[in-house]
Amino acid sequence: MLSLPVAQLGIIAALPGEARALARLRPRGRARLSSGAQLVLSGMGADRAGAAARQLADDGVSVLMSWGTAAALAPGIDPGALMLATRVLGADGHVWHTDAGWRGALAAGLAPAHQVFEQHLVETPALVADAAAKRALYERSGAIACDMESAAIAAVAAERGLAFVSVRAIIDDASMALPPVARAAMDADGRLRPAALLAALVGRPASMHVQLRALKNLAVAFRAARMTLADVAAVLRGEVLK
């Protein structure tokens, strides 16, 4: 059982699908969980995540948690693996350390059931779309995964003197390319954009089958990531995984 002050936790997730294991919320929604922890949906990107983190800090939380998915940069990391960053590397060169107590407790609770990585995470200002870009970022930073929000949340935690932890389930491995249609299909708050999705498909008729297959693969990977996040949510509720 997790012996940490969950009631003092402020959780920031970008998208409703990422937060569903904790609560069903509309974009930009917020909730107080049964544990007493507070959850805010920020939308994608550093600015939105930072604003949500400041809101939670103003509300008196003592721990900020970056929650959601990440892209793998290093080979050998499968969709659904759990990334508990030891350090978060900002795109501007800043470095933030995560709270060892929270990280260790979560790793102990999740390791029996999941592939858990405790290594560096790097910030990206936009989605990393293809394998070549992932490889270049891995070689440049040494980080094994990336996301767009954790660094902004870590910066607020440092400014306010709060503990910080990053919980990220891997959604795409280092070899997986994000199809253009996937980037067009969703806005920054996670709302589907059917017209944009259709336009992206029609605009690339020669690659339609390839893109649809890539979308299917991404959906399978996202289900694996959500299952992992569901188990993290269970550990936060005090459950013991088998």
Tens-digit pLDDT profile for residues 170-216: 999 999 987 777 766 667 777 766 666 667 666 666 677 777 787 78
Give the pLDDT confidence score for residue 205 in this predicted structure: 66
Task: Return the residue matching tokens 């440049």.
Answer: 140
Residue 90 falls within a domain, yes or no? yes
Assigned token pair, 14: 């970008």
Helix (H) or strand (E) holding 19: helix 16-19
Assigned token pair, 10: 């402020």
Assigned token pair, 101: 């107590």
Residue 1 falls within a domain, yes or no? no
Assigned token pair, 200: 């992206």
Cβ contacts of 214-221, under 8 Å, gap ≥ 24: 214/177, 214/178, 214/179, 214/181, 214/182, 215/179, 215/181, 215/182, 215/185, 217/176, 218/171, 218/172, 218/176, 218/178, 218/179, 218/182, 220/79, 221/79, 221/80, 221/171, 221/172, 221/173, 221/176
Residue 242 falls within a domain, yes or no? no
Give the pLDDT confidence score for residue 4 in this predicted structure: 84
Residue 140: burial class (beta carbons within 10 Å; 0-12, 13-18, 19+): exposed
When divided into structural domains, the chain yields a total of 1
SS3 assignment, position 241: coil
Give the pLDDT confidence score for residue 132 in this predicted structure: 96
> Is the full-model pTM beyond 0.75?
yes
Residue 60 falls within a domain, yes or no? yes
Give the span between the Cα atoms of 170 and 133, in whole angstroms. Answer: 17
Residues of the chain with confidence (pLDDT) below 70? 1, 183-186, 192-198, 200-206
Cβ atoms within 10 A of the Cβ of 62, count? 15
Query: CB-side exposure of 42: number of CA atoms within 13 Å?
Result: 28
CATH number at residue 190: 3.40.50.1580
Residue 95 falls within a domain, yes or no? yes
Phi first, then psi: what are they for 133, rounded to 5°? -65, -40
Assigned token pair, 191: 């709302």
Q: Which domain holds residue 48?
A: 6-236
Residue 96 falls within a domain, yes or no? yes
Residue 14 falls within a domain, yes or no? yes
SS3 assignment, position 6: helix
pLDDT tens-place string over residues 1-10: 677 889 999 9
Give the pLDDT confidence score for residue 208 in this predicted structure: 72
Give the pLDDT confidence score for residue 214 in this predicted structure: 76
Q: What 8-state DSSP symbol labels residue 76?
A: T
Residue 241 falls within a domain, yes or no? no
Q: What 8-state DSSP symbol labels residue 99?
A: P
